Chains A and B, each alone.
Chain A
Amino acid sequence: MSIYLDHAATTPMLPAAIEAYVDAMSVVGNPASIHSQGQNAKRMLEEARETVARSVGCDPIEVVFTGGGTEAINLALKGLFWARAPRRRILVPGGEHHATMDTVEWLENHDGAEPGWLPLDRAGRVDPARVADALGTGAEDVALLSLLAANNEVGTLQPVAEIGEIAAVHGIPVHIDAVSAYGQVPIDFRALSGAGRTGASGGAGGSAGGIVALSLSAHKIGGPVGIGALVLSRRASIVPLIHGGGQQRQVRSGTQDVAAAVAFAAAASALGDVPARNVHLRALRDRLIAGVLAVVPTAVLNGAAPDGPDEQRLPGNAHFTFPGCEGESLLFLLDAAGISVSTGSACQAGIPEPSHVLRAMGRSEAEARSALRITLGRDSTGADVDAFLAALPAAHAQASRAGMNDRVPTR
């Protein structure tokens, strides 16, 4: 029996999404075809788009389906950067997901971008005042700003609305990576983007300012892997990454994956009332956090405090540093006990890397190596949490004995 506590990596597909997926896969028809079967496919696709749009409060036309969160982020960052040429600066906090970090670094190395890395505080939060400072001292050359809605490792929610307002004042377009926040906290794109805000449109250089783009991924909410969306404001102009048949507002060419979109929509419509749904998740998480701190008193909770309705933390996220232990050792021992957790982001080929998020939050290399992320999902139970808490003390004791990998060997 294995207990899955890594829902932030991916969460099980909902039975309803699997059913919708399979059913849709047996329907023939390219949504771009003119005949009736094409029209039928198109109808299924657009209904899916409407459902996804509803789940984040945007217009259906603003939903651009992509091959996942990573592609959506690449499209937003590169597409906005190119559309905003010759502006070169990209404001972005440290500790973003690799899809953002690596795209920004690629633009820096290949396309003359100048990243302005914004600091995180000890809880992993970006201070809006720092954004105001950065824009106050010369917004002219800023192409865009991008940030997470919620950090996927430590679970800290960012003040995106506030930062979006500041950027809007300066006419700077903002992209939000909402992949990890999706389904965990309510997202209202219309409110965030300030649609209808006076003076919000027509920023120089083609793109309007404020929040104009937002990335989603289906497999974080019980949909399939391999489909996501970039919610792209009708006010925004963007240069496409993929050219071809001109599908989806010319922004993302290629025959559209109707079945995946339908399955994505099935998961999106199952989100329902997000805050209500997450009451259970939050209660489980608080039990888990209290339990960990009780059985391993040296454990340190990272991220924002879980303190009720206004808390700045994802309801399904618990993230700890276990001083003196390699996260990798804990992961191995817990895995051997049948419990799946994460050290944060495993980069390439399963090589664990010290958490760049904790580093960006000012923690030491050793602390960044000693991290463990436990994330809950909609089917997590109290029994799962109890099993984890039962296995943790022994795993922790053994991992402490093994110590850090850079210790001087005794043999």
Chain B
Amino acid sequence: MSGGVDSAVAAARAVEAGHEVVGVHLALSRMPGTLRTGSRGCCTIEDSMDAQRAANIIGIPYYVWDFSERFKLDVVDDFIAEYAAGRTPNPCMRCNERIKFAALLDKAIDLGFDAVCTGHYASIQTDAAGNRELHRASAWAKDQSYVLGVLTAEQLEHSMFPLGETPSKAEVRAEAAERGFSVATKPDSYDICFIPDGDTRGWLAERVPASAGDILDREGNTLGRHEGAAAFTVGQRKGLQIGTPAADGKPRFVLEVRPITNTVVVGPKEALAIGLIAGSKFTWTGLAPEHPGIAFDCDVQIRAHADPVPAVAQVVSVPVPAGADSAGAGATDAGAIELVITPREPLTGVAPGQTAVLYVGTRVLGQCTIDRTVSAVPVPSAAVEPAPVAVPAARA
């Protein structure tokens, strides 16, 4: 129970469904703020008190469990490391993957519970053979199945999402008000909970050392200098400070961030269109496809609120590039295996580090952390980038 309206209503519904329910609030910081500020909706003392008041009204016991150490290691440090590696991490997904449905679930099961119940908008259904499937919430506008795409079959076995079938958030708020929850009108949180003032860039800048480097075009020509590669995100246009304009006079965008060489690659807007994404860290949400090695149709979604795009996906073995460090490159010792996703129309706004979630209809099939992307627009001069696919930035 975060102290927000959704988990409070989810807890109440779980009780009414006949379950034996205990409210647990996660302490994710050893130094929580006192009062809620701005758009954060969890992790302060006030939020913990809100959660407790809801538990009191529901009539369930309430405890705070301290996962601040794991949260720091698995979410906060990971966020910083990913950013420093030039990638675009999603800490909320990491928290679901490593904390809520891992550390918390493990502890809960060991202490005698059967499941973790949360206020996520997603729906668990069962197929004919009795296997659990994760589906989009019936209210698409609030659907949060994307951030749950990291759940494995086993985690799904021990999860409950009582809000999945609710037509709208308004309905949940109305129900909360009816139940007398003080949090019925509490604003939604949308910022990263461990960055109190919402200034993600400033927060990261304090933690990731920056040094000046080159800004290159796709052909490898130096166009200018930057103050630190990690501060740039793919798709960014502002703040490039390149003296000479592009030959065609059009604005240039960040196409790639290469932390190893501390360079930023820029190019025309069209080059942001991505024709292929791939990653070696992938999981299946419930039953895996029968033949993942054979290309299959699905939809791919690359952000929490992006539209799904039809795609073809396939698990392939990739030879380890000569001289590359194979550690961490894939799931097996013999060589890496990768989930390769080819959208039927190019994607924009996609960068390594983001999570691609695959759907079949409303069902979540699985996900992968994007290691590399390939532009849909070929590099003008092929001499600079000889490989047919772009080598992932971190291994360049």
Contact = CB atoms under 8 A, between A and B. Distances in A.
Interface string A389-410: 0000000001101110111011
Given A348-B32, A398-B110, A409-B106, A328 B70 contact: no
B52 A401 contact: no
Given A350-B52, A398-B112, A405 B63 contact: no
B71 to A, nearest CB: 10
Contacts of B49: 349
B367 to A, nearest CB: 16
B111 A411 contact: no
A383 interface: no
B66 interface: yes
Size bracket, chain B contacts? 20 to 34
B97 to A, nearest CB: 9
Most buried by B among A350, A351, A411: A411
A267 B52 CA distance: 32
B358 to A, nearest CB: 21
Given A348-B32, A351-B64, A409 B112 contact: no
A351 B48 contact: yes
Contact of A405 (B30, B45, B61, B103): B103
B93 interface: no
Interface in B16-47: 27, 30, 32, 34, 45
A329 interface: yes
B69 interface: yes
Contacts of B175: none
Contacts of B69: 405-406
Contacts of A398: 110-112
A411 B155 contact: yes
Contact of A332 (B105, B111, B154): B111
A410 B101 CA distance: 10
Given A348-B32, A351-B32, A405 B112 contact: no
A374 interface: no
A410 B52 CA distance: 29
Interface string B234-270: 0000000000000000000000000000000000000
B70 A406 contact: yes
B107 A329 contact: yes
B27 A351 contact: yes
Nearest to A365: B69
B102 interface: yes
A409 B154 CA distance: 13
Nearest to B49: A349
Contact of B70 (A329, A402, A405, A410): A405
Nearest to B72: A406
Main secondary structure of the interface of A (DSSP, over half): helix
Interface in B93-132: 98, 101-103, 105-107, 110-112
Nearest to B110: A402
Given A333-B111, A351-B27, A411-B154, A405 B98 contact: no
Contacts of A351: 27, 32, 48, 64, 66
B284 interface: no
Nearest to A346: B64
Contacts of B158: 411
B102 A409 contact: yes
Given A348-B32, A349-B45, A351-B27, A332 B103 contact: no
A352 interface: yes
A335 interface: yes
A411 B110 contact: no
Interface string A296-335: 0000000000000000000000000000000011001101
Interface string A364-403: 0000000000000000000000000000000000110111
B45 A348 contact: yes
Given A398-B112, A399-B111, A402-B107, A350 B48 contact: yes
A329 to B, nearest CB: 6
B64 A402 contact: no
Nearest to A406: B69
Interface residues on A, range: 20 to 34
A76 to B, nearest CB: 26
B111 A350 contact: no
Contacts of B154: 411
B65 interface: yes
Contact of B63 (A348, A350, A353): A350
Task: Pick from B45, B66, B158 the residue with the most CB of A within 10 Å.
Answer: B66
A349 B111 contact: no
Nearest to B105: A411
Contacts of A349: 32, 45, 48-49, 52, 64
Contacts of B65: 328, 405
Interface string A50-83: 0000000000000000000000000000000000
B94 to A, nearest CB: 12
A59 B27 CA distance: 47
B49 to A, nearest CB: 6
Nearest to B61: A335
Contacts of A328: 63, 65-66
A246 to B, nearest CB: 34
Contacts of B73: 406
A168 to B, nearest CB: 40
Interface in B142-188: 152, 154-155, 158
B63 A409 contact: no
B64 A409 contact: no
Given A349-B64, A351-B27, A411-B101, A329 B48 contact: no
B111 A402 contact: yes
A407 B70 CA distance: 8
Contacts of B110: 398, 401-403
Contact of B66 (A348, A402, A403, A405): A405
B185 to A, nearest CB: 21
A333 to B, nearest CB: 7
A409 B66 contact: no
Among A349, A399, A402, max chain B CB count under 10 A is at A349
B1 to A, nearest CB: 12
A333 B32 CA distance: 26
A353 B31 CA distance: 11
Contacts of B27: 351
Nearest to B99: A409
7 contacts: A335-B61, A350-B48, A351-B27, A351-B32, A353-B66, A403-B110, A411-B102
A-B interface, 3 closest residue pairs, ranked by CB to CB distance from nearest: A409-B102, A402-B110, A406-B69
Interface of A: 328-329, 332-333, 335-336, 348-353, 398-399, 401-403, 405-407, 409-411
